[in-house]
Amino acid sequence: MQAVIYGKQVVMRILNSHQEKLQEIYLSKEIDKKFFFALKKACPNIIKVDNKKAQSLAKGGNHQGVLARVELPLAVSLKEVKKAQKLLVLCGITDVGNIGGIFRSAYCLGMDGVILDFAKELAYEGIVRSSLGLMYDLPFSVMPNTLDLINELKTSGFLCLGASMQGSSQIENLSLKKCALFLGSEHEGLSKKILAKMDAILSVKMRRDFDSLNVSVAAGILMDKIN
């Protein structure tokens, strides 16, 4: 499956790490010669377009004059993802900006894979863009039924950790060699049914009185704690 992503930074990242994914390049302005020749070498199909066409391809986004049609990353089987030691499970998170930010943090902080709990199909191109292409580097699977997933992960030896503002588990007392961290949406959090099946509930200690952190920020803090 193909889609258009846009922005100089993400296109450059894909060029450097996954150039086989590049199918076409669209340019609406002059770019650095070194960057142009690198793009040309990786993908001969470079098409010059006017700004109106570029805006249409980017659906109004800030394309910076550089866009690319790419092969999107593919989900792998749950069996494949379960070979990992540290997993991240996203439950009900639908904002592609947050998901992309979480993928970036997960990759940088040493997580081995991501499981997505999608109630509806999301635009992978948005996640590729907001993750700066790191969605290609981290195996991910899709498992709509979270309760079944918890049972399957526990059977495979994973310690299931839930994130909640009311979490009280002491992370120092947990065996974290093989674990899965579950994160809920920023507004809803994890459901009571999911929390009831967790082996431990973790939270980010707030130094000042406020409702919650952005989910991608909280994810980064908790991932750092368990690695």
Q: pLDDT higher for 222 or 203?
A: 222
Residue 169 pLDDT exceeds 70? no
The pTM of the full predicted model, rounded to 2 decimals, is: 0.89
Confidence class for position 178, pLDDT limits 50, 70, 90: very high
193 or 60: which leads in pLDDT? 193
pLDDT in tens, 65-105: 999 999 999 999 999 999 999 999 999 898 999 999 999 99
Question: Please, what is the end-to-end C-alpha distance for the chain in angstroms?
Answer: 34
Cα-based distances in Å from 193 to 37, 38, 162: 54, 51, 11
Domain boundaries, the chain: 2-71, 78-226
User: What is the average pLDDT across 44-70?
Assistant: 92
Mean local confidence (pLDDT), 177-206: 89
Report the C-alpha gap between 55 and 2 in whole angstroms: 18
Second CATH level (architecture) for the domain 78-226: 3-Layer(aba) Sandwich (3.40)
Report residue 213's pLDDT band, with 50, 70 and 90 as the boundaries: confident
Identify the residue whose tokens are 């997580």: 111
> At the topology level of CATH, where does 2-71 sit?
60s Ribosomal Protein L30; Chain: A; (3.30.1330)
pLDDT interval class at 209 (50, 70, 90):
low
Q: Where are the beta strands (DSSP E) in 39-157?
A: 46-48, 66-71, 86-91, 113-117, 140-142
3-state secondary structure of 134: helix
The answer to whether 201 and 195 are in contact (CB under 8 A) is yes
